[in-house]
Amino acid sequence: MHTLYAAQRAGSFVVEALLHHTGEPYRVAEAPPWEAGPHRDELARVNPLMQVPTLVLPDGTVMTESAAIVLHLADCHPQAGIVPPADAPERAVFLRWLLYLVGSVYPTFTVADDPTRWVSGTDAQEELVRRTSAYRCGLWRQVEEAAKATPWFLGERFSAIDLYLAVMVTWQPRRPWFAEHAPKLTAIADRCTADPRFAPVVARNGMA
Ligand SMILES: N[C@@H](CCC(=O)N[C@@H](CS)C(=O)NCC(=O)O)C(=O)O
Tens of pLDDT, residues 81-98: 999 999 999 999 999 999
Sequence-distant (≥ 6) Cβ neighbours of residue 141 within 8 angstroms: 181, 182
The pLDDT value recorded for residue 104 is 98
Q: Which atom of ligand 1 is nearest to the CA of 109?
A: 6
**Alpha-helical runs (H) found in the chain:** 12-22, 39-46, 66-76, 91-100, 106-112, 122-146, 160-168, 174-181, 183-193, 199-204
User: Mapping DSSP to helix (H, G, I), strand (E, B) and coil, where does residue 134 land?
Assistant: helix
Supply the CATH classification number for the domain 2-80: 3.40.30.10
The pLDDT value recorded for residue 15 is 98
Please classify residue 191 by burial: count the beta carbons closer than 10 Å to its beta carbon, then call 0-12 exposed, 13-18 middle and 19+ buried: middle
Question: What DSSP character marks residue 171?
Answer: S
Does residue 53's CB lie within 6 angstroms of at least one atom of ligand 1? yes
Does residue 51's CB lie within 6 angstroms of at least one atom of ligand 1? yes
Q: Which helix (H) or strand (E) holds 28?
A: strand 26-30
pLDDT tens across the length of the chain (208 residues): 999 999 999 999 999 999 999 999 999 999 999 999 999 999 999 999 999 999 999 999 999 999 999 999 999 999 999 999 999 999 999 999 999 999 999 999 999 999 999 999 999 999 999 999 999 999 999 999 999 999 999 999 999 999 999 999 999 999 999 999 999 999 999 999 999 999 999 999 999 8
Q: Which atom of ligand 1 is nearest to the CA of 51?
A: 12
Fold category of 91-195 in CATH: Glutathione S-transferase Yfyf (Class Pi); Chain A, domain 2 (1.20.1050)
As a whole number of angstroms, the distance between CA 67 and CA 8 comes to 18
As a whole number of angstroms, the distance between CA 6 and CA 176 comes to 25
Q: Indicate which residue's Cα is closest to atom 5 of ligand 1.
A: 51
Please classify residue 134 by burial: count the beta carbons closer than 10 Å to its beta carbon, then call 0-12 exposed, 13-18 middle and 19+ buried: exposed
User: Mapping DSSP to helix (H, G, I), strand (E, B) and coil, where does residue 206 land?
Assistant: coil
Do 142 and 105 touch, CB atoms closer than 8 A?
A: no
The pLDDT value recorded for residue 106 is 98
Taking the centre of ligand 1 as the mean of its atom positions, its distance from the CA of residue 89, in whole angstroms, is 30
Sequence-distant (≥ 6) Cβ neighbours of residue 100 within 8 angstroms: 139, 142, 143
Q: Where are the domains of the chain?
A: 2-80, 91-195
As a whole number of angstroms, the distance between CA 42 and CA 5 comes to 9
Judged by phi (left if over 0) then psi (alpha if -120 to 50, else beta), residue 88 lies in beta
Does residue 66's CB lie within 6 angstroms of at least one atom of ligand 1? yes
Does residue 11's CB lie within 6 angstroms of at least one atom of ligand 1? yes
Pocket test for ligand 1, best of 104, 106, 169, 170 (most atoms within 8 A of CB): 106
Does residue 52's CB lie within 6 angstroms of at least one atom of ligand 1? yes
